[in-house]
Amino acid sequence: MGGNVDCRQCTRWPGPARHVRQPCQADFATIDRSGRARQGRDAGRSFVKSGEELQADCPTAPPRRTRAHRDSLGRRVGRRQPVSGRVTSAVRSQGHPGMPGEPVRVVVFDPIPPEEWSYDVEAGILAARRVELVLPSGPVATRQEIRDADVVIVTGIRPLDGPTIRTLRRCIGILCYSIGMDKVDGAAAAVAGIPVRNVPDYCTEEVSDHALALLLAAERRLTAFAELAASGQWDVVGRPENESIRRLRGQTLGILGAGRIGSKVARKARAFGFRTIAFDPYISSTEDPEIELVPLPDLLGQADALVLCASLNDGSRGLLGWNEFAQLRPGVILVNVARGALIDEAALAEALGSGRVGLAALDVRSPEPPAKGADPLAGLPNVIQTPHIAALSREAREDLRRMAGEIVLQMLESSGRIPSTAVDQTA
């Protein structure tokens, strides 16, 4: 569920990308038919093909009668016996165009285990429009179910790759159950003519808050002093940490990716007195006049602290490597709340050892979890880590479920798979 997301770079960054305003960055956008992310002020806005592009409306069959009952949210839904290998959670639909009686089906690719997550909210939203939500029981059932799915929801447990996308026979949309869109093969989806969308707004407050929490913990060397206090050591006079702590006001914060999350990080950081600059090759201006857009080399040379809010794509992978770390001011603070693969971790380990990076505060790694025995950052005293939890809050979970259900309905309406509820203002 990467949302726990969210998102860019030097001359390597621009190129075939699926992100823009967001993503994770992290700020993301959607994929159009060419496979490229939309840019500029429209970046991050959802794009779905029109009904003419996908399929014209046609008569649909009446809904199949079912015995009604109420789900855990009190909504009336139909009850059906689960088919082997899946769990259904809505009534029989009005039918596919040209396939009377067949349900409109939304299939979750690798559902999050039921002991960890509930899809009741999405099921209720879809059931109200006679759309069936299918939760396959395992990988084999998933392969079977998604072939005839109208919409596929990708949780991020496994990537939805090209070969799998090519098995989709009537899919009109793919929804990333997150801000990040790096778990879907965007090029394959574009070739298949299937739009890809994300849930861009559900956790922007949480991720930007977490970025500030990591930044402040790193600046104040909080974890080191907390461990000393917990062990009963209160005499900290002369400790090396004392000399490395600086006043926040007046420092320059460099933000990589000035999308939804990056912009919020900048605004919140200024409350502590930071000057904010950003690098984002997809925009020429921001709505925030206090964010100065600069080239990447300028950002690296000016920043006292860096926060990564960029999406992960082919152009941004390894955004910070040996060359980029060499351009930093000595002792810079590095925070990453986007994607772990934006950083070359071997290069980061060397920069941490040399003092070029004073402290790294990371919510994301690559891979996750780090491989035991092959983690270049293992045991380093100047690394703070959290296990990809930046997006977590009760409100964010509620928003993700609601927004996901609503976006799926938008995709189905735009394709003509279900009737539109839009009111004609000209009538």
Q: Over the chain, what HEC string results? A: CCCCCCCCCCCCCCCCCCCCCEECCCECCCECCCCCECCHHHCCCCCCCCHHHHCCCCCCCCCCCCEEEECCCCCEEEECCCCCCEEECCCCCCCECCECCCCEEEEEECCCCCCCCCCHHHHHHHHCCCEEEEEECCHHHHHHHHCCCCEEEECCCCCECHHHHCCCCCCCEEEECCCCCCCECHHHHHHHCCCEECCCCCCHHHHHHHHHHHHHHHHCCHHHHHHHHHCCCCCCCCCHHHHHCCCCCCCEEEEECCCHHHHHHHHHHHCCCCEEEEECCCCCCCCCCCEEECCHHHHHHHCCEEEECCCCCCCCCCCECHHHHHCCCCCEEEEECCCHHHECHHHHHHHHHHCCEEEEEECCCCCCCCCCCCCCCCCCCCEEECCCCCCCCHHHHHHHHHHHHHHHHHHHHHHCCCCCCCCCCCC
* Range scoring the smallest mean pLDDT among 26-40, 127-141, 176-190, 374-388: 26-40
Residues 318 and 169: their CA atoms lie apart, in Å, by: 35
Q: What is the pLDDT of residue 103?
A: 85
Tell me which of 79 and 425 has the higher pLDDT.
Answer: 425
How large is the average pLDDT for residues 405-426? 86
Q: Assess whether 181 and 38 both reside in one domain.
A: yes
How large is the average pLDDT for residues 156-176? 97
CATH of the domain at 402: 3.40.50.720
Q: Assess whether 376 and 279 both reside in one domain.
A: yes
How large is the average pLDDT for residues 274-289? 93
Q: Assess whether 233 and 250 both reside in one domain.
A: yes
Q: Assess whether 362 and 300 both reside in one domain.
A: yes
Q: Assess whether 217 and 340 both reside in one domain.
A: yes
How large is the average pLDDT for residues 115-135? 96
pLDDT tens for residues 55-70?
Answer: 333 333 344 434 444 4
Q: What is the pLDDT of residue 165?
A: 98
pLDDT over threshold 90, residue 325: yes
Q: Please report which confidence band the pLDDT of residue 102 belongs to, taking 50, 70 and 90 as the band edges.
A: confident
Query: Domain for residue 368, yes or no?
Result: yes
Query: Domain for residue 4, yes or no?
Result: no
Tell me which of 19 and 337 has the higher pLDDT.
Answer: 337
Residues 322 and 300: their CA atoms lie apart, in Å, by: 13
pLDDT over threshold 50, residue 83: no
pLDDT tens for residues 203-247?
Answer: 999 999 999 999 999 999 999 999 999 999 999 888 888 889 999
Query: Domain for residue 349, yes or no?
Result: yes
Query: Domain for residue 311, yes or no?
Result: yes
Q: Assess whether 139 and 90 both reside in one domain.
A: yes
Q: Please report which confidence band the pLDDT of residue 84 belongs to, taking 50, 70 and 90 as the band edges.
A: very low
Q: Assess whether 236 and 113 both reside in one domain.
A: no
Q: Which residue has the tokens 């925030």?
A: 288
Maximum CA pair distance of the chain?
A: 80
The chain-wide mean pLDDT, for the chain, equals 82
Query: Domain for residue 14, yes or no?
Result: no
Q: Please report which confidence band the pLDDT of residue 151 belongs to, taking 50, 70 and 90 as the band edges.
A: very high
| Structural domain span for residue 51 | 28-199+397-415
The structural domain count of the chain equals 2
Residues 404 and 121: their CA atoms lie apart, in Å, by: 9
Residues 269 and 421: their CA atoms lie apart, in Å, by: 42
Strand-pairing partners, residue 109, are: 154
Query: Domain for residue 297, yes or no?
Result: yes
pLDDT tens for residues 289-324?
Answer: 999 999 999 999 999 999 999 999 888 999 999 999
Q: Please report which confidence band the pLDDT of residue 101 belongs to, taking 50, 70 and 90 as the band edges.
A: low
How large is the average pLDDT for residues 172-201? 96
Phi then psi for residue 63, to 5 deg, are -65, 145
Query: Domain for residue 119, yes or no?
Result: yes
Rounded-to-10 torsion of CA 195, 158, 364, 317: -60
- Active-site residues: which are they? 339, 368, 388
Q: Assess whether 139 and 272 both reside in one domain.
A: no
Q: Please report which confidence band the pLDDT of residue 345 belongs to, taking 50, 70 and 90 as the band edges.
A: very high
Q: What is the pLDDT of residue 39?
A: 39
How large is the average pLDDT for residues 112-136? 96
Q: Assess whether 184 and 208 both reside in one domain.
A: no
Q: Assess whether 187 and 273 both reside in one domain.
A: no
Q: Assess whether 265 and 295 both reside in one domain.
A: yes
Q: Roughly how many angstroms between the first and final C-alpha of the chain, as a whole number?
A: 42
pLDDT tens for residues 34-54?
Answer: 444 443 433 433 333 333 333
Query: Domain for residue 38, yes or no?
Result: yes
